[in-house]
Structure 1
Amino acid sequence: MAAGGAPGFARRVCAEPGAAPCPPPPAPCAVKAASGVGAKDRLQGPGGCLCPASAARPGRLGSAAGSARRCPMAQYRIRQYRDGDYEAVRTLFARGIMEHVPATYRRMLGSGRTQLGLLALLAGVRAAAGCWAPALAAVALALLTAWPLVHSLASSYVREALATDLRDIRAAYLQAPDSDFWVAEGAGGAVVGTVAAALPDEPAERGAALELKRMSVRRDHRGRGIAQALAREVLRFARARGYGAVVLSTSVVQVAAQRLYESQGFRKVGAFSPSLLGRLLHFQIFRYRCELPAGPPPPAP
């Protein structure tokens, strides 16, 4: 179901130039609704303000809570996925996952078990060979071997995603029940961020929660509030459909993502290793959950 067709979406409206700044964002997971603003009509202005598209141009009037205000030039726009975004979305997702390979490798090296294993290898080869050169070479070889293993852990995940839901995004999200896919569009129409909502992978969660998936923001557009706006889009979408929670998964090395989700009211509820290779590399997936307020969204103020 398309987000633009759901009733009661939230918004924030920028103040007049020179007036008081935008109010702080809504409390985590307590999203206020305002009628008449769909997913295709929200623009993101400076300071993280969400503005109706009709107010984004000078001289046009918005309709926030019955008052007319102008909004500064928008930095980006959150809208529903279009078929023309296909390659940009897939490329952004793949790059976003692969950029965490170095952090995963560093985490593996910093693990006490890894360091203990390397020390044992060094000592064992030194004792067997009677000199340090073979021992150091063995440790160097182990470190070199670990890099492609870490790389394969990420690349296999990317291949799986590109071959499943991201192979046919329209069918997986826009035509599936209680699912949708949004992009953040920057200057010139470039896709700079993505997020999706779908039924959870865990059968036990279905009917009670939706899952936030495929969150990614281009590196050169981070720190501008895009990820927060995309996360709130999913929270609004889930609440408008009567769900009581939103769940998601993120990795142990995605520290910035963890902070983002926690700032939006998500709490970590579990952790697991995705595979045997993941366990060997000390790599974990964290499971997060955000409880939404009960009942329908409140009326616009």
Structure 2
Amino acid sequence: MPGDALAGTAAAGAPPNARTLLAIGSSLCLYEAGMALNDWADREVDAVERPHRPLPSGRIRPAAALTAACVLTGAGLALAARAGRPALAVAAPLAATVWAYDLTLKHTAAGPVAMGAARGLDLLLGAAATTGRTRRALSSAALLGTHTLAVTTVSRQEARGGSPVAPLAALATTALLTRLVTHRLASLPEGRREAAAHLPPGPRSARPRPPEPGRQLTAHLTTALAAAYAATTARPYVHAALNPSPPLTQRAVGAGIRATIPLQATLAARSRGTATALLIAALTPLGARFAKKVSVT
């Protein structure tokens, strides 16, 4: 998805470039491949639980969905290869994770973990395509993957309802992620974190330093976006915990999907990618429309 690649680019400490666009194209192809493959793999279950979906309703034939998944996967890998070997090295396990989730892992305990891993790899795809490196983006990938794991866990009971444990855990995860992305040292680029950790003791290091240009803006923007992330999910998660019925659980899942965009923007902002963060935040209306039509599962 665009926000993943852009957040990965910012986390790697670089502005978007032409290879970032290739990463976005690859991400979109692999995501749509997963959607088509998911419908194909779940066609029998959907015939009972979600008969309005394209395959059970007869609007699309199963063979066409499987063919689309194969073609889109190939296109996604081709675009990643065009962006360079580092991007392909991330896109290949991402594609494998998508197929493994849809065909094998989705209905197992490893399903949410696989979905979280796929989201983290998608962010790393942006970093790898843009800069050829992923190390600086690993922490952002882990944070985004953790959010996705929590949302996917809630989504597993959206058809029948269930226990309040999953939405409560997702609420706690949101609070933890909000704390982590707004932590002072976590908001510093990696090189500056290392420098801060090795400052020598004494009067010279104790002297206040003049604020760096743009640093205060970055801090305020990161805090505001993190607050938007937390606010998007808090009430729906609480409602689903108090009454874990299918309608309220589905609303909680939709909120979790919508919250992905402010989280992506927060991750970009904390890496001092102010322009990239604002660009991602501008995708919020699109994400709201998308969440109404798409389920995590």
TM-score by length of 1: 0.30
With CA pairs under 8 Å and 6+ residues apart, which has the higher RCO, 1 or 2? Answer: 2
Structure having the larger proportion of residues in strand: 1
Larger Rg: 1 or 2?
A: 1
